């Protein structure tokens, strides 16, 4: 059965510079390469879900500019339903400046543009879309009040809501009531809970904190250390696949998108879905760029063939 996925999120055009090392304050360095590519956490996650076979619809905004038109074409090229992407005449399409050093680590500077100008009024009713959906995914690159409103609507339709709280900042208290599953990394988890993630007990404590505040299920992505999960009465750690990373820009987005494409709506295949998403992420970090690095299902399944 094909999962029906809605992604609420950002659409950006990424400009990536590759450098030997990150510049220090006041330092000028030379870039070894420059690349312009489609990105944005929301768009990346939607493409990852679509490339893993999910029927995917997108809710977001672009500017009435060349970047916006190009990004809409890119989403449509990946068979993503863009009927609910708003054309904003007052704000430019979002953009990101990414610096990647030789180790594969990255620094990212984001301009929100039309993403941050999105409002609940602009989105309007999406009842018809929610009636068909299994999962609704959101991040923090669009206003949280829009996420709250859509998560509230989703719960009324029995849709599983998933929050990837990235980039890290404080959480609108209303989201605690409407989020079924939260997927932070270690930094984001600490930002939200105040608990430093160092070992299994601190991860369990983080899961307990979220449960006590209303979010029953959690995963923490741990980079090269894998993924810890505590959800639907199950918990454990799924190890990462050891590969040589050249660019980690879309690793987390690829994981989330692949996960919602693979996870059954009755969540009976948690460990299997996490493993699949880890495989997808391991392929993404071996290529440069955000969206261009996201693998297709056939590539992921080939790992086990």
Q: Where are the alpha helices (DSSP H) in 231-269?
A: 251-262
CA distance 258 to 295: 9
Q: Which of 51, 48, 249, 61 is nearest to 141 (CA)?
A: 61
Q: Where are the domains of the chain?
A: 4-22+32-300
Interior/surface letters 4-35, b for 16+ CB within 10 angstroms, e for the rest = bbbbbbbbbbbbbbbbeeeeeeeeeeeeeeeb
Can the peptide bond before residue 167 be classed as cis, meaning omega within 30 degrees of 0?
A: yes
pLDDT at 294: 95
Query: Fold for domain 4-22+32-300?
Result: 3.40.1190
Query: Using one digit for the tens of pLDDT, what is the confidence trace for 139-157?
Result: 999 999 999 999 999 999 9
Residues 208, 212, 216, 222: is their CA dihedral positive or negative?
negative
Could you say which DSSP state residue 168 is in?
-
* Res. 14 pLDDT band, cuts 50 70 90: confident
Q: Report which of residues 110 and 190 the model is more confident about.
A: 190
CA angle 152, 129, 164 (to 5 degrees): 50
> What are the helix and strand counts (H, E) for the chain?
11, 13
Residue numbers belonging to the annotated binding site for K(+): 247, 249, 284, 287, 289, 293
Sheet strands side by side (includes 94-101) = 33-39, 12-19, 94-101, 106-111
Query: Using one digit for the tens of pLDDT, what is the confidence trace for 80-116?
Result: 999 999 999 999 999 989 898 888 888 888 899 999 9
Residue numbers belonging to the annotated binding site for ATP: 185, 221-226, 252-253
Answer yes or no: is pLDDT of 289 > 80.
no
Helices 186-193 and 200-212 meet at what angle, rounded to 10?
A: 50
Tokens of 129: 């879309």
Average pLDDT, whole number, for the chain?
93
Query: Using one digit for the tens of pLDDT, what is the confidence trace for 263-277?
Result: 999 989 999 999 999
Residue showing tokens 């009755």: 266
Q: For the chain, how many residues are written? A: 305
Q: Report which of residues 15 and 115 the model is more confident about.
A: 115
How many percent of the chain have pLDDT more than 70? 100
Residue numbers belonging to the annotated binding site: 12-14, 40-44, 141, 185, 221-226, 247, 249, 252-253, 284, 287, 289, 293
CA distance 10 to 91: 13
Q: What is the average per-residue pLDDT within 190-216?
A: 95
pLDDT at 169: 86
How many percent of the chain have pLDDT more than 90? 78
Point out the least confidently predicted range of 39-43, 51-55, 68-72, 104-108.
104-108
pLDDT at 305: 64
The catalytic residue positions are 253
Answer yes or no: is pLDDT of 223 > 90.
no
CB–CB of 277/287 below 8 Å? no
Residue showing tokens 């009531």: 177
């Amino acid at each position: 059965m094909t999962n029906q996925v809605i992604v609420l999120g950002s659409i950006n055009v990424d400009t990536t510079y590759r450098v030997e090392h990150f510049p220090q304050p006041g330092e000028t360095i030379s870039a070894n390469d420059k690349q312009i590519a489609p990105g944005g956490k929301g768009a990346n996650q939607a493409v990852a879900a679509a490339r893993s076979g999910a029927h995917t619809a997108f809710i977001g905004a672009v500017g009435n500019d060349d970047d916006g038109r190009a990004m809409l074409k890119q989403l449509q090229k990946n068979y993503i339903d863009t009927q609910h992407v708003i054309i904003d005449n007052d704000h430019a399409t979002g953009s990101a400046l990414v610096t990647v050093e030789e180790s594969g680590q990255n620094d990212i500077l984001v301009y929100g543009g039309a993403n941050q100008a999105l409002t609940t009024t602009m989105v309007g009713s999406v009842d018809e879309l929610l009636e068909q959906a299994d999962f609704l995914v959101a991040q923090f690159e669009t206003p949280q009040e829009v996420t709250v409103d859509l998560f509230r609507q989703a719960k009324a339709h029995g849709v599983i809501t998933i929050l990837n709280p990235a980039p890290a900042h404080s959480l609108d208290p209303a989201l605690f009531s409407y989020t079924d599953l939260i997927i932070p990394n270690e930094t984001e988890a600490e930002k939200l809970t105040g608990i430093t993630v160092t070992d299994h007990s601190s991860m369990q404590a983080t899961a307990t904190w979220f449960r006590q505040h209303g979010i029953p299920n959690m995963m923490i992505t741990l980079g090269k250390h894998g993924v810890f999960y505590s959800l639907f009465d199950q918990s454990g750690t799924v190890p990462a696949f050891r590969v040589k990373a050249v660019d980690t820009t879309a690793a987390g987005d690829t994981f989330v998108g692949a996960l919602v494409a693979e996870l059954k709506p009755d969540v009976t295949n948690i460990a299997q879905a996490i493993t699949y998403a880890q495989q997808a992420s391991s392929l993404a970090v071996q290529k440069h760029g955000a969206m261009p690095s996201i693998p297709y299902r056939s590539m992921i399944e080939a790992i086990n063939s």
